[in-house]
Amino acid sequence: MSELSRRDQAVLWHPATHFGDLERTPPLPIHSARGVWLTDEDGRQILDGIGSWWTSIHGHGHPHIVAAIQRQVARLDHVMFAGFTHEPAIELAERLLALAPRDEQVHYGKVFYSDCGSASVEVALKLSYQSRVLTDQPRRRRFAALQRSYHGETLGALSVCGSEAWREPFSALLHDALYLPVPSFPAHEHADLQPGGGYGLGADTPEADRAVALLEAHAHELTALVVEPLIQCASRMNMFGVGFYQRLVDTCRRLDIHVIADEIAVAFGRTGKLFASEWAGRAPDLLCLSKGLSGGVLPLAATLIRAGFEAPFQGDPARSFAHSHTFTGNPITCAAGLASLEVFEAERTLDRLPERVAQMAALRRELADRHPQVIESRQAGLVGALTLDRARGPADGRLSLALREAALARQVLLRPLHDTIYWMPALNIDAAALSRLAEVTSEVIDEVMPR
C-alpha cells in the first residue's frame, strides 16, 4: 500500500466503499489524466472504461475546457446568484434552452442551476409540488417512479428510487412514492432506439399496460412521474425501450401529471443524441441534467423548466420558489459547461459517434458469442452492458469486486454493477482504446469465471 493510500485511509470516508474492502482494494492515488487515460503515482496508465462514473464526455483534461476554466477563474471565481448574475451562467442557459428537446406541446423557458444530479432532481420535485399548491391542487402531492430506478441519494431523490437496496436503510425518513412496473430488453440493440412510425419498443408490453393503469388510477393524487429515459443506469443498465417512455409521457400529459426526466447519466451524447428524450420525440416538463453537463470536469447541475411553468410562482413574494444553493450558477462551472458544448460543435462529436457505436456493438457481440459466462448483451448509443452468469462467480459472492480487481491489474477501470459489466467511455475514445477495453473485459471474465 502506498503512502498516499495510508494517509487516505486515516482521514477519508469514500462513497460506495465498504470499510472491510479497504485492505483488499485500497483507493488508488491518481496523479493526472488525459483523454481516456488515468495516470497513477507510479506512472501506470489506466484506461477509463466508465467515464469516471459516467461523467467524462470529451475525455479528461480536454484543452478547450481547461483553457476556459483558467480564463474564467482569473476573471471571476464566484458571486452569489441571488441578486447577481454573470455572462457564463446566462450564455450557458441560452445554449441549453436552444439545444434542448422540444415537441408540439413543450419547449423550455427557464434554467435553474444547482450543484449535483441529486440536487437537480430535488429542484424538479419541489417545483412540481409547489406549483400544485399554488394552483389549489394540494392533494396532488405524490410522485410516481419506476421500479429499479435510481435518482440520487439525498432524501427527496432517494424517495423516488425504485430499489429497496438504496431506500430501505432510510425508509422511515422517506415519502411514499408509487412505483410502476418496467419492462426489460436484455438483448437491446442501438437500432431499437429508432421508434419508426407510432410507438417504439416497449410500448405494447404488459408492464406498459400496468404502468398506464396505475397512473390512471392514481392521477388524482400524483403531481409528477420521475423517469430515466431509455436506460436505468444504476439498475445494471436496464434498457426498457423507447416506446415505453413515449407511452408514459403521453399518458401523463393526458392525465395532467408532470413528467420529470432524469437525464443526469444519459444526456450529452451517451445514447447517440445530445439528449436521450430526443429519441422518443417527447420533451418532459422538467429535465434534470448533471454529470456530463460540464464535460465531466466540475460539479454542475441544471433543471430545465417548461416555458410557462413559472406562471404560478409570479406575483406575491410568498409565491416564490423556496429553494437555493450556495454555489448556484458558479461562473467557473458554467464556463466549463459552455466549453463542453463548444467542443461538441467544433469536433462534430455526435456526427462522428455512429462509427464508434458500431465498433462497440461488434466488439460486444463477438465477446458475448465467445463467452458462455455472458448470458445477456445489450447496447444503446455508446453504453454497452454484459450480464454474467453469477452462478459461475467466486464462492464469496463478490463477483463485481473480483472483476474490478482483475481489470485494474490490467490497467483498465471497470466497475461492474453486481453481475453486469458495462462500458461507458468518453465519446471520443479511439478505436484502439475501445478494442483494448473489450480485450481486457474478455480476459477478466475468463479469469474470474472459468469456463
Residue ranges for the known binding site for pyridoxal 5'-phosphate are: 117-118, 262, 325-326
Please give the helix or strand (H or E) that residue 218 lies within, else none.
Answer: helix 206-218
- Single-letter code of the amino acid located at 96: L
Q: Which residues are annotated as a binding site?
A: 53, 117-118, 150, 262, 291, 324-326, 415
Q: In what order do the strands lie in the sheet containing 420-423?
A: 374-380, 383-388, 420-423
Task: For 334-371, give the DSSP string.
Answer: HHHHHHHHHHHHHTTHHHHHHHHHHHHHHHHHHHHHH-
From CA 191, how far away is CA 201, in angstroms rounded? 10
From CA 400, how far away is CA 389, in angstroms rounded? 12
347 class by beta-carbon count within 10 Å (0-12 exposed, 13-18 middle, 19+ buried): middle
Give the up-direction half-sphere exposure of residue 120: CA atoms within 13 A in the CB hemisphere: 28
Cell numbers standing for residue 49: 472504461
Task: Confirm if 301 and 119 have CB atoms less than 8 A apart.
Answer: yes
From CA 97, how far away is CA 222, in angstroms rounded? 27
Please give the helix or strand (H or E) that residue 32 lies within, else none.
Answer: strand 30-34
Task: Confirm if 219 and 256 have CB atoms less than 8 A apart.
Answer: yes
Q: Which residues are annotated as a binding site for substrate?
A: 53, 150, 291, 324, 415
Task: Confirm if 62 and 343 have CB atoms less than 8 A apart.
Answer: yes
Q: Report which of 371, 388, 395 is spatially closest to residue 446, judged by C-alpha positions.
A: 371
442 class by beta-carbon count within 10 Å (0-12 exposed, 13-18 middle, 19+ buried): middle
